[in-house]
Amino acid sequence: RAVGKVLTTHEDPSEAVENGLVELLGQEGVETEQLGTIIHGTTLVTNALIERKGATTALLTTDGFRDAVAIGTEHRYDMYDVFIEKPEPLVPRSLRYGVRERSLDDGSVMLELDEEQVRSIVTELRGREVRAVAVSFLHSFRNPAHERRVWEILAEEAPEITVSLSSEVAPEIREYERTSTTVANVYARPLVEGYLRSLEDRLRRLGFGGSLYIMLSNGGTASVETACRFPVRLLESGPAAGALAAAFYGRATDFPEVLSFDMGGTTAKACLIEGGEPLRSNEFEVARVYRFKKGSGLPVKVSVIEMIEIGAGGGSIASIGPLGLPKVGPRSAGSEPGPACYGRDGSEPTVTDADLILGYLDPDFFLGGKMRLDREAALRTIEEKIAHPLGLDAVEAAWGIHQVVNENMANAARVHAIERGKDPRAYPLFAFGGAGPVHGYRVARALGVPDFIAPLGAGATSAFGFLCAPLSFDFVRSLYGRLHELDWSGANEALEEMEGEGRDLLRASGVADADVMVRRLCEMRYVGQGHEVTVELPDGNLGPDDADRLTSLYRKEYRRLYSREGPDVPLEAITWRLEVSSPRPRIQLDGEESDPGDARKGEREIYVPEEEGFLAVPVYDRYLLGTSATFEGPAVVEERESTVVIGPESRAEIDAARNLVVRWSE
């Protein structure tokens, strides 16, 4: 397994991809022409929405509804905050236009589209240098004709403007969420198109002639063309890959159910893996006003691997809060200027600075020795900003920062599991990312989980997850009605149409029809409820005779989710979903046995709170630890992209997949 890692290049992110590829191929003696497939994930869309660095965007919506994206829903994410802030729409009010047209909820047209008004608006948009337009008309998920006509007019009169239609991006019920998703999609689209085309050009100049696929938030991959058309589906592409890797390792060993814990430079994310599969959701929030408050962000209706942002990353900044207590995040030093120890004029204390002072990181072996860390700079900034104001020495302050981060992440992960009716103590912690294995032992102990697992190449595990991802596409249609009164022919037609679209896309990517896997789902609810429960549908055409069967499936899923029986009221179907995918790539993990003594590099003093000070512990070379190797904690295990810190009263073992598994001695 070849692994490489380089710093982000903020001016042009595609440059970092090229740098990393050239370095990795040179390291392994492989020519670019020999590569058949490259899979890529990016945080570009997330960053564009959070930092508001997308294109100047306008919204065309049904007359009288232009403020729907600002009004949102009646839900309040904090019932007791009278000064509650809602996320600002990505489109200012001056660029939101009400268009005279109206379709009803059955798809019939009440008012024809005023094409002259649309042409007048387009002229105004060109004068205001608008680069992107979202079109979201009322009930367009039932009748998209008006939206498509607006697209035709824009293509005729302003072909330079990028357009997204809600009937293509999110063709489902709930106008606020549908419009918000469409706006987010087109807002990021020019940026993503430019980036991916630049990346294609760089790869082509290097001699790459294979296929480039982009990681999606749902754990699948898609072509560059699909990613450019629907960039909103890339929102969680990096973290999704990490969850896929955790699921893969779980299936390959004895841990089909784990708590995935991905801690990188800016954030940490957790995801529950059950039965060898990550949990999924059909809605997501981005750019939250309050980072950890659900409901305070912009909603997007896309299929995502369900995870929670649970704290800070290595670059998160430590400070003293208004109560005189240390806090960590949400601000981050990023990679530029980075932590103080990077020696790039960073002046704020970070988690990485604290870990370096505690001895958990080797200043001479960061990124395998390619980058030297400045311990004195870390000491100075923590002493000045944290230790002296609190009357502590630098080590006490550093341990305080380390503890705060660990407790915050453990608490958030615990809540995430409990909200889903799960006991976090039943899930081994699978820690990866550059900082995950450094903090994994203490987070695992705080959670009370049975095992702590760190994979080989933990700092690049998300990249490994790309290799585990199948080609995949999701489709959605809203067709609602009570189960015993449903238009079954319409439902079958929608399912067949979605499956046909999916098979065409996979066929174009070289997947044989016989290898296509199809999963059909329906979101249903009790009549009168406001939220749905998703049920997997049986194969074949559906009809009135299936109503009782679907009712039984729904009640079973409702009972699993909420641990109680639902009310004895009729059910209604709301939204129909379909997923098509190729088979999972087959990956073989090979390992060789070794003596841990051969992997021992020496000793290093690290801070061990149980000893109330520093203790000399053995340091092992991760790459020389073969399967079945065992050793006692405390210890440090180093690899190029990450470091595993193992506390006392524990025993570590390398399993058949070369995961480092830590179990408690008591």
Three state DSSP letters for 247-276: HHHHHHCCCCCEEEEEECCCCEEEEEEECC
Q: In the predicted model, is pLDDT for residue 361 greater than 90?
A: yes
Residue 257: exposure state from Cβ atoms within 10 A (0-12, 13-18, ≥19)? middle
Angle at 399 between CA 398 and CA 403, to 5 degrees: 120
Q: In the predicted model, is pLDDT for residue 310 greater than 80?
A: no
pLDDT tens per residue across span 14-60: 999 999 999 889 988 999 999 999 999 988 898 889 888 999 999 99
pLDDT given at position 509: 85
Residue 623: name the closest of 661, 650, 660, 586 by CA: 660
Grade residue 289 by pLDDT with cuts at 50, 70 and 90. confident
Q: In the predicted model, is pLDDT for residue 594 greater than 70?
A: no
Residue 187: exposure state from Cβ atoms within 10 A (0-12, 13-18, ≥19)? buried
Q: Which residues of 143-164 are buried (b: 16+ CB within 10 A; e: fewer)?
A: bbbbbebbbebbeeebeebbbb
**Structure-block tokens of residue 602:** 């020496």
pLDDT tens per residue across span 378-399: 999 999 999 999 999 999 999 9
Read off the DSSP letter of residue 455: -
Q: In the predicted model, is pLDDT for residue 373 greater than 90?
A: yes
Q: What is the mean pLDDT of residues 556-572?
A: 89
Q: Where are the domains of the chain?
A: 316-403, 472-581
User: What is the three-class DSSP state of 28?
Assistant: helix
pLDDT tens per residue across span 469-502: 999 999 999 999 999 999 999 999 999 999 999 9
User: CA-CA distance, 508 to 481, in Å (whole number)?
Assistant: 35
Residue 520 main-chain phi, psi, to 5 deg: -115, 135
Grade residue 11 by pLDDT with cuts at 50, 70 and 90. confident
Omega of the bond leading into 190 within 30 degrees of 0 (cis): no
User: CA-CA distance, 301 to 23, in Å (whole number)?
Assistant: 38
pTM, to two decimals? 0.87
User: CA-CA distance, 212 to 227, in Å (whole number)?
Assistant: 11
Q: In the predicted model, is pLDDT for residue 264 greater than 90?
A: no
Q: What is the mean pLDDT of residues 443-451?
A: 93
Identify which of 248-252, 587-591, 618-622 has the greatest average pLDDT. 618-622
Kindly report which listed range (101-105, 250-254, 487-491, 513-517) carries the lowest average pLDDT score: 250-254
pLDDT given at position 223: 92
Q: In the predicted model, is pLDDT for residue 300 greater than 80?
A: yes
Identify which of 39-53, 93-107, 271-285, 467-481 has the greatest average pLDDT. 93-107
Q: In the predicted model, is pLDDT for residue 635 greater than 70?
A: yes
pLDDT given at position 170: 95
132, 140, 141 from 154: Cα distances, Å = 11, 18, 20
Q: In the predicted model, is pLDDT for residue 592 greater than 70?
A: no
pLDDT given at position 478: 94
Q: What is the mean pLDDT of residues 248-275?
A: 88
Q: What is the mean pLDDT of residues 168-192?
A: 96
Q: What is the mean pLDDT of residues 108-132?
A: 97
What is the maximum alpha-carbon separation in the chain?
80
Q: How many CB atoms lie within 10 A of CB 507?
A: 12
pLDDT given at position 440: 95
User: CA-CA distance, 525 to 534, in Å (whole number)?
Assistant: 9
Q: What is the mean pLDDT of residues 72-81?
A: 86
Residue 469: name the closest of 187, 282, 240 by CA: 240
Q: What is the mean pLDDT of residues 135-147?
A: 97
Q: In the predicted model, is pLDDT for residue 534 greater than 80?
A: yes
Cα torsion 231, 236, 239, 241: sign: negative
pLDDT given at position 251: 86
pLDDT tens per residue across span 395-438: 999 999 999 999 989 988 888 888 788 899 999 999 999 999 99
Grade residue 1 by pLDDT with cuts at 50, 70 and 90. low
What share of the chain in percent tops pLDDT 70? 98
pLDDT given at position 27: 86
Average pLDDT score over the chain: 91
Q: In the predicted model, is pLDDT for residue 190 greater than 80?
A: yes
Grade residue 666 by pLDDT with cuts at 50, 70 and 90. low
User: CA-CA distance, 93 to 30, in Å (whole number)?
Assistant: 53
